[in-house]
Amino acid sequence: MQTIVTGGAGLIGSNIVRLLNARGEDDILVVDHLRGDPLKRRNLDALRYARYMERDAFRAAVRAGGIEPAKAFFHLGACSSTTETDEAFLDDNNTGYTREMCEWCLAHGTRFVYASSAATYGDGSLGYSDDHAGIPALRPLNLYGWSKQKFDLWALSTGAVDRIAGLKYFNVFGPGEDHKGDMRSVVNKSYAVVRDTGRISLFRSDRPDYADGCQDRDFVYVKDAAAVTVWLADHPGANGIFNCGTGHARTWLDLARALFAAVGREPRVDFVDMPEKLRGRYQYHTEAEMGKLRAAGCDVPFRPLEDAVKDYVDTHLSRL
């Protein structure tokens, strides 16, 4: 039986297809919305899959009963822009789309693994526990986060959460993000500048409890995030909503130093004011609590930040 990967040309999706290929699987239906984007299309060039469908045609085919049964369905397809302001679009493209695919999978006995987001945790004041009891109290800082939160709440309220797996991905970066524009990681956006000028720009802090560059994130390498996602598909007894992070927050300065080391440069950091549109919506700290995923039996390791950045530079960025 086939495997379906929506968002299959995206960052996490393309790495899932690559991982499936590595273990000999190529009966894969890839779904995405390429819009003639050559950088996104390039993510599929080296992958093996049976068929590609555009998102809208795929949704229509699902509704019409025209999609063959699948053994696993990885639903990564969504608008991931944290600055998107069209709530109706996000309600349909993120929340509604996920619900439709989940209902189809439950009706057909297909393992459903979907992307939630650490953006659901908002400003972090309620912590980063993936315990289901705390999810209804979360207040995301942007409409993207709310689009993910709304589906998580639906899954909880209907009981679907006990038959599916969702992942709250923290700050995922790595090969496959070249097409993401402003939503690319700092490593991706800064690599060429660091290589050519030996400098990097980071946001100043506008909070007294954080020094410039000491805002931190749980940075997750996409190859590790993909491995965790595939593990959940392989273990249908592991159900619920799980964090996907390293469990160790690192500062932006740590990230910058890792990038300088990977390109063989001495660190030189410039601090710039945070854009007005991000103020009040910017997460100063994220750190996944990982006990729940580990208790479910997932032993996929997460590589240290320095190792991840070096692998990204050596195997992808330096070859562009």
**Structural domains of the chain sorted by starting position, each given as residue range(s) with its CATH number in brackets:** 2-173+219-247+289-302 (3.40.50.720), 178-216+249-278 (no CATH)
The mean pLDDT of 89-104, rounded to a whole number, is 98
pLDDT at position 245 is 98
What secondary structure letter does DSSP report for 213? T
| 79-83, 84-88, 125-129: range with lowest mean pLDDT | 79-83
Q: Name the average pLDDT for the chain.
A: 96
3-state secondary structure 82-149: CCCCCHHHHHHHHHHHHHHHHHHHHHHCCEEEEEEEHHHHCCCCCCCCCCHHHHHHCCCCCHHHHHHH
**Considering the chain, what percentage of its residues have pLDDT values greater than 70?**
100
pLDDT per position as a tens digit, 137-185: 999 999 999 999 999 999 999 999 999 999 999 999 999 999 999 999 9
226, 151 in Cβ contact below 8 A? Answer: no
Q: Locate all alpha helices (DSSP H) within the chain, ordered by sequence.
A: 11-22, 38-42, 55-63, 87-90, 97-108, 143-158, 186-197, 222-234, 252-263, 291-295, 305-315
Cα radius of gyration (the chain):
19
pLDDT at position 195 is 97
Largest CA distance in the chain: 58
Residue 281 reports pLDDT greater than 80 = no
pLDDT at position 282 is 83
Tell how strand 200-203 and strand 171-173 pair up.
unpaired
pLDDT per position as a tens digit, 203-214: 999 999 999 999
Residue 278 reports pLDDT greater than 90 = no
Q: Supply the residues annotated as catalytic.
A: 144, 180
pLDDT at position 283 is 84
Residue 277 reports pLDDT greater than 90 = no
